[in-house]
Structure 1
């Protein structure tokens, strides 16, 4: 049978290795939302209406930007960026110079000097229109002091996966990730004195994926290496290391193969699969290895005794992870499916490889062990702790329930941080680059307002749009106690939009030119479209022909077009401040819409197109949705794990005791995080469900030992004490493996991964102690209520006869 199991495992492994190679990673933002998510639908409407909407900026320093010399450099790099594969279009100082010629045409005379000697109209300090035109784009193409340049780059949208093979091939060579890599290369090739850098939400997301992938490889090696050291130091048995390696590799490959079969891709939170599998495997193996090391124990007897507890622990692990699937964030759903599948695969791998590997001869695979190394002997220290806990079971039980209620109330009031920039360490080059952009250009967060526009743009409509823009510029919020990503307090009066821009502003400047003041806005817009087509078409949908505009009656204009207002805000704003700002912008747009409907006629489809969206809005919603879903996931995990424990014990009192003991550490850790100034974020949003699934393992083994002793005739108190004393060593070793495995994640440069590792490790450490002290006390408290007579605990601690 042992050989047959090993043969089945090996034969299954070979095809899975080939099949799992088809697993891919989806880095698109749309892949992080459900297909029917309202925020995603709004963003897709923006994409379909205006085309390329992924905006990044190539920022560099130039003290002579507004000179012929600076213009030459800017034009050179603009053309290089514009010719890059995957770029939809650009906006830069060079493009503004070309566009301004539409307002101030330059005439060449035969006796004129070289073109390089002619003054550049846009740079003239005594030209009021030129100054207004430069101010209009300050914060986008250049800083207010005109010493920092920004080439605004609109990236091409990836082609839909359902389109033709040819289109898919083109997409594979021009996707966002590859385009960002090409643009980074351009920035790196610029002179160091220019301090060039590439920023923007697409870049931020790419950096997050790069860090996660790097973490996955590094943390897997560190986790597996440390866990092997723990096994060798505590058990001194190379067979356990071999079994752990076989189960980790087999389970990981099997999980990846199942993901390929179900069409699931790797995402932002799934790159640490190997490290998580290693932790689950070693925690399960520890119990089996310790039982095999008991005096007189055989591998057959050990497997028979632990088959049900280990099965339950793997299933509770799977339940805790699967609870994450109730989230509305697609990466979390897929992460929950992936890790739940991995826990089930671990159970299968243990069944396939444990009988054969643990039957290998000890002579050459086990190190010399002293007499004190028999992990099967009961621990006097653990017995004394358990006896003391059982003796004071009522006081401990009441204290635990009070702590449970107090910490739950405190955690429910913790603030959340949905700032995606805070996912990077403050000393990272990413955060420092954004701090520089915030200082020089006023904000790196790019988002948009989309409004319905009439088929013929009238002066009255543009006037109303400028009124809305003025209202948006006047928004000023007071959000107390805000911290930005650079750990400096944000002035409440500065929680506002840093830039508001639309074609209505450009038209206001253009109509001040005498020769353009007598024409309609549509004529001026046509000129802008000819001068800077990418910018114009990204802000307004244009009709196919001018004749269609002329035929529309001016007194009953239908809202058949769309106008885009580009907004900028500080990316370093905290999630609380950013959410408040976005909410105020939405309210302002809705108030404005009531007036525009009254003036131009109510049109329900047009009203549906008044949206506030953009990359920054989606990123903020992503984090906020994940944090919101944590309580739902924790609730589902508690229900599913509770049902599994009840199915294994058939005792409601034991189920309640186990859930209390494993919920309390989570609330204690989150409360401690809040007391020390932490906030709920990406890293802490999933620890509840995950920790419940992992920490319940010790409770299951304890309850299994407790019930065996009850069947053998032990009293309630004796059964609880002896179960804690006998199973304390394997529970502590398994918990140590879990704590060490997750503690490795603390070294990650990606803050959510580090936070997740730290909080889970702390929770599991507290849970291990609670399972050996608080759980016996609660079991005795709850069980004695159901007993007709109680038995006193002998003072000498002797065991009842078997």
Structure 2
């Protein structure tokens, strides 16, 4: 080694090109430079440990003040990029039709179509209407009022049959809407069956349209839903009142996740502390972990406030993730520090670069999620990447002093023999077992390398074919009260999935236009897509459960003699006066301020919320094709305003909560491959900078990407589908699992620099680093395994898959990685890097 260094110095002095030696031993100039830098850094950290503690403590005060301003945005808009076409269509519909956040208050009433049932419906309707956040209400009481416009007293005064009640109960005469002998009343009731009442007329529904959140009132929807829950709780237990709807679904999801985040954080920290005490038996390590977790969490939350970010659907597990990252890093410090002959400065010098690189690769893996079009996932990536950097800072601030506390804090007495730069190789059974595995893998280096590459390619192709589950209801466990509520709604009222079609409308509604709308509705009702369930397929495919618009209401009103002679615009205006919330939610009316504003007609669709992702996607695609075909042909542009014939307002649009939720998951799954590629590129660049060897970098990336794809493949083999949880594990796992590779490569290159052959350096590095790598991996696996208990399925899936991936990665880093590193080493007949 010295000989070649002298030759290189002579070459530089003569200003002649230096030729790298052809040898079996590399000259890692960059790793050697990093090692010298780590020595100087360790010396400074130990010397300035009290100042570092003071800086961390003083900086903690303003961070606590800043993080108190962190809020959570529960709106649907917060889950999409502001430029996403799907959310733009939804916002456009909101601006055109007003309140579009629909909540259904469902309750049982055996005497619904009686005077007593009507009185109860009217009482609850009036109380709901009085709430500040309610835009409008549609209920049985509102239908009775509307039908009085269709059947005024004069039109039915000479029709005795019209007053024949459907109920045999004594009391005042039943309302005209309840008369089965009146065909118009029957049609009017059937028109709204599934919305205001069940088809058997034993279950009622009050359809509440909420006002959306604004900048001045960010929590209005949550507050209104809370008031509705309180009011529903005052109903008799026999009514079994419940609230459903996508706003309620989101509220329940956020409530579950917030409570889940707190519980998981407590469970994760508690279990990890037990792991530290059992394995390390050192209170200093426990104290250091607690300080770093708290400081990193507060710092991350404060930086989120400064950056203008908010907590979202997937960010409530921040504390649990930080705990896992902190403990995994500290495990390496603890194992190395308890080795006989180790000193604080020597431990920091050896581990400073690997731990810093580990935190940076964690940050790179999480940051790759920032490319996602799903805003909560993108913010989650930025947030956790920031957290990983804060962990690195906290370790630098507090590790020197915490580890230098008195030895009596350790439950296991430590001996301090004279300083030894390198830990002595152990001779325990565990060490010999690791050495045996490493030697065996190196012996079979070629078959293992070829098998790894083949598995990587085949599993990648298989995972790319996995189906996506876009049903938001599947994010909850089957035993969840949310799932039971939706099942009850679908059994009694029809589909619980609410979405919409909006169509261009002329300035003056004509009979021809309404007829074309009804023809389009017939086409929508005729749509049928194949079912995934064989039993359901035998009864027919998947269809829309309900299609409703003002064109249907006008068709019923037209049958009334007094209204059959007036134009549709008059009938619709009368309906607007009778039930304004319903009419204005389905047709945009000219206003005094904007009399020439383009008009839109809205068709309300209902589908089963329990549909699989493939069924729902197929149904939405069929609806989209039908609407596009209809608006291209039936809705002639000469009937529309000139402004509508050339822009977005002249097209049919499919939108709504169910559409947005379906596209949300599909977009996330579609982004997972890009995020994984970005994570691999970022992590690979960091490894290349540290190792200065592209072969080692490629081997590490293959070994750490393979477990991710194998776990996803196993999930597919057992019938699983890609969802919110599984779509994020690729980028996250790469950043976390690379930890073992970094420490292995660090030990491998130190041994190669000391003169060992590739086979010996690889086997010894794997055996010596086996204990810290396995302990750190165990901490990660236990931390993520706690997430499996979450009632929110994506969180549980995320925890289970990441834990399984990290388990396989730990094994691969101690067996397959040494084999691939030795296999990729250049033979003596070729130049070495």
Same fold (TM over 0.5): yes
Name the counterpart of 1:22.
Answer: 69
Name the counterpart of 1:117.
Answer: 172
Alignment of 1:165-204 (within 5 A): 168=216, 171-172=217-218, 175-204=220-249
Name the counterpart of 1:433.
Answer: 485
Aligned counterpart in structure 2 of residue 90 of structure 1, from 123, 131, 137: 137
Name the counterpart of 2:13.
Answer: none
Aligned counterpart in structure 1 of residue 551 of structure 2, from 504, 516, 523: 504
Report if the CA contact (8 A) 1:454-1:559 is conserved. no
Name the counterpart of 2:632.
Answer: 594
Report the 3-state secondary structure (helix = DSSP H, G, I; strand = E; otherwise coil) of the residue aligned with 1:446: strand
> What is the alpha-carbon distance in structure 2 between the residues aligned to residue 450 and residue 343 of structure 1?
46
Displacement after TM superposition at 1:19 (Å): 1.0
Name the counterpart of 1:461.
Answer: 513
> What is the alpha-carbon distance in structure 1 between the residues aligned to residue 482 and residue 785 of structure 2?
25
Query: Residues 645-679 of structure 1, C-alpha deviation per residue, up to 9 Å, x if partnerless?
Result: 11110111100100010000001100110011100
Report if the CA contact (8 A) 1:291-1:376 is conserved. no
Displacement after TM superposition at 1:81 (Å): 1.4
CA change 1:248–1:513 in 2 (3 A) is same
> What is the alpha-carbon distance in structure 2 between the residues aligned to residue 32 and residue 302 of structure 1?
44
> What is the alpha-carbon distance in structure 2 between the residues aligned to residue 423 and residue 491 of structure 1?
28
Alignment of 1:174-253 (within 5 A): 175-253=220-298
Query: Residues 45-85 of structure 1, C-alpha deviation per residue, up to 9 Å, x if partnerless?
Result: 00000100000100011111111111111111111111122
Displacement after TM superposition at 1:543 (Å): 2.1
Name the counterpart of 1:605.
Answer: 647
Name the counterpart of 1:562.
Answer: 600
List alignment gaps of at least 5 residues for structure 2: 1-47, 158-162, 164-169, 417-422
CA change 1:653–1:431 in 2 (3 A) is same
Name the counterpart of 2:503.
Answer: 451
> What is the alpha-carbon distance in structure 1 between the residues aligned to residue 66 and residue 424 of structure 2?
41
Report if the CA contact (8 A) 1:497-1:568 is conserved. yes
Name the counterpart of 1:633.
Answer: 675
Name the counterpart of 2:123.
Answer: 76
Alignment of 1:252-267 (within 5 A): 252-267=297-312
Report if the CA contact (8 A) 1:452-1:559 is conserved. no
Displacement after TM superposition at 1:764 (Å): 0.1
Name the counterpart of 1:295.
Answer: 340
Name the counterpart of 2:801.
Answer: 759
Name the counterpart of 1:45.
Answer: 92
Name the counterpart of 1:621.
Answer: 663
Using the TM superposition, name which of 358-367 and 456-465 deviates more.
358-367
CA change 1:122–1:735 in 2 (3 A) is same
Report if the CA contact (8 A) 2:407-2:413 is conserved. no
Displacement after TM superposition at 1:521 (Å): 0.3
Using the TM superposition, name which of 184-193 and 21-30 deviates more.
184-193
Aligned counterpart in structure 2 of residue 768 of structure 1, from 779, 801, 810: 810
Displacement after TM superposition at 1:364 (Å): 3.2
Displacement after TM superposition at 1:481 (Å): 4.8
CA change 1:329–1:295 in 2 (3 A) is same
> What is the alpha-carbon distance in structure 1 between the residues aligned to residue 717 and residue 617 of structure 2?
23
Name the counterpart of 2:426.
Answer: 377
Aligned counterpart in structure 1 of residue 103 of structure 2, from 56, 72, 76: 56
Query: Residues 493-525 of structure 1, C-alpha deviation per residue, up to 9 Å, x if partnerless?
Result: 341110011110000000101111010001101
Query: Residues 363-404 of structure 1, C-alpha deviation per residue, up to 9 Å, x if partnerless?
Result: 233335899xx9973610000000000001001111111111
Report the 3-state secondary structure (helix = DSSP H, G, I; strand = E; otherwise coil) of the residue aligned with 2:207: strand
CA change 1:468–1:723 in 2 (3 A) is same
CA change 1:579–1:242 in 2 (3 A) is same
Report if the CA contact (8 A) 1:745-1:757 is conserved. yes
Using the TM superposition, name which of 51-60 and 359-368 deviates more.
359-368
Report if the CA contact (8 A) 1:60-1:194 is conserved. yes
> What is the alpha-carbon distance in structure 2 between the residues aligned to residue 762 and residue 566 of structure 1?
44
> What is the alpha-carbon distance in structure 1 between the residues aligned to residue 179 and residue 136 of structure 2?
27
Report if the CA contact (8 A) 1:627-1:682 is conserved. yes
Name the counterpart of 2:745.
Answer: 703
Displacement after TM superposition at 1:470 (Å): 0.5
Aligned counterpart in structure 1 of residue 771 of structure 2, from 729, 735, 743: 729
Query: Residues 271-324 of structure 1, C-alpha deviation per residue, up to 9 Å, x if partnerless?
Result: 110000000000001111111011010111100111110010000000000000
CA change 1:423–1:65 in 2 (3 A) is same
CA change 1:73–1:727 in 2 (3 A) is same
Name the counterpart of 1:316.
Answer: 361
> What is the alpha-carbon distance in structure 2 between the residues aligned to residue 546 and residue 50 of structure 1?
16
> What is the alpha-carbon distance in structure 2 between the residues aligned to residue 481 and residue 728 of structure 1?
48
Using the TM superposition, name which of 345-354 and 64-73 deviates more.
64-73
Name the counterpart of 1:576.
Answer: 614
Report the 3-state secondary structure (helix = DSSP H, G, I; strand = E; otherwise coil) of the residue aligned with 1:565: strand
Using the TM superposition, name which of 609-618 and 644-653 deviates more.
609-618
Aligned counterpart in structure 1 of residue 458 of structure 2, from 406, 430, 442: 406
Name the counterpart of 1:553.
Answer: none
> What is the alpha-carbon distance in structure 2 between the residues aligned to residue 260 and residue 606 of structure 1?
37
CA change 1:473–1:227 in 2 (3 A) is same
> What is the alpha-carbon distance in structure 1 between the residues aligned to residue 576 and residue 90 of structure 2?
24
Alignment of 1:150-161 (within 5 A): 150-159=205-214, 161=215
> What is the alpha-carbon distance in structure 2 between the residues aligned to residue 492 and residue 640 of structure 1?
52
Alignment partner of 1:67 is 2:114? yes
List alignment gaps of at least 5 residues for structure 1: 162-167, 483-487, 549-557, 791-802
Report the 3-state secondary structure (helix = DSSP H, G, I; strand = E; otherwise coil) of the residue aligned with 1:26: coil
Query: Residues 253-277 of structure 1, C-alpha deviation per residue, up to 9 Å, x if partnerless?
Result: 0000100000000000001100000
Displacement after TM superposition at 1:490 (Å): 7.1
Report the 3-state secondary structure (helix = DSSP H, G, I; strand = E; otherwise coil) of the residue aligned with 2:315: coil
CA change 1:621–1:664 in 2 (3 A) is same
Report the 3-state secondary structure (helix = DSSP H, G, I; strand = E; otherwise coil) of the residue aligned with 1:518: coil
Using the TM superposition, name which of 608-617 and 396-405 deviates more.
608-617
Displacement after TM superposition at 1:354 (Å): 0.3
Report if the CA contact (8 A) 1:669-1:762 is conserved. yes
Query: Residues 605-653 of structure 1, C-alpha deviation per residue, up to 9 Å, x if partnerless?
Result: 2654421111111111111111111111000000000000111101111
Name the counterpart of 2:186.
Answer: 131
Displacement after TM superposition at 1:544 (Å): 3.5
Report if the CA contact (8 A) 2:631-2:651 is conserved. no
> What is the alpha-carbon distance in structure 2 between the residues aligned to residue 21 and residue 491 of structure 1?
57
Aligned counterpart in structure 2 of residue 281 of structure 1, from 300, 311, 326: 326
Displacement after TM superposition at 1:480 (Å): 3.2
Q: How many residues align?
A: 760
> What is the alpha-carbon distance in structure 1 between the residues aligned to residue 149 and residue 425 of structure 2?
88
> What is the alpha-carbon distance in structure 2 between the residues aligned to residue 544 and residue 252 of structure 1?
51
Report if the CA contact (8 A) 2:669-2:724 is conserved. yes
Displacement after TM superposition at 1:9 (Å): 0.5
Name the counterpart of 1:541.
Answer: 588
> What is the alpha-carbon distance in structure 2 between the residues aligned to residue 64 and residue 138 of structure 1?
16
> What is the alpha-carbon distance in structure 2 between the residues aligned to residue 427 and residue 280 of structure 1?
32
Report the 3-state secondary structure (helix = DSSP H, G, I; strand = E; otherwise coil) of the residue aligned with 2:73: coil
Query: Residues 237-261 of structure 1, C-alpha deviation per residue, up to 9 Å, x if partnerless?
Result: 1110000001000000000010000
Name the counterpart of 2:25.
Answer: none
Name the counterpart of 2:394.
Answer: 349
Report the 3-state secondary structure (helix = DSSP H, G, I; strand = E; otherwise coil) of the residue aligned with 2:726: coil
Displacement after TM superposition at 1:574 (Å): 1.2
Report if the CA contact (8 A) 1:236-1:369 is conserved. no
RMSD of aligned residue pairs (Cα, Å):
2.1
> What is the alpha-carbon distance in structure 1 between the residues aligned to residue 283 and residue 740 of structure 2?
24
TM-score (norm 2): 0.89
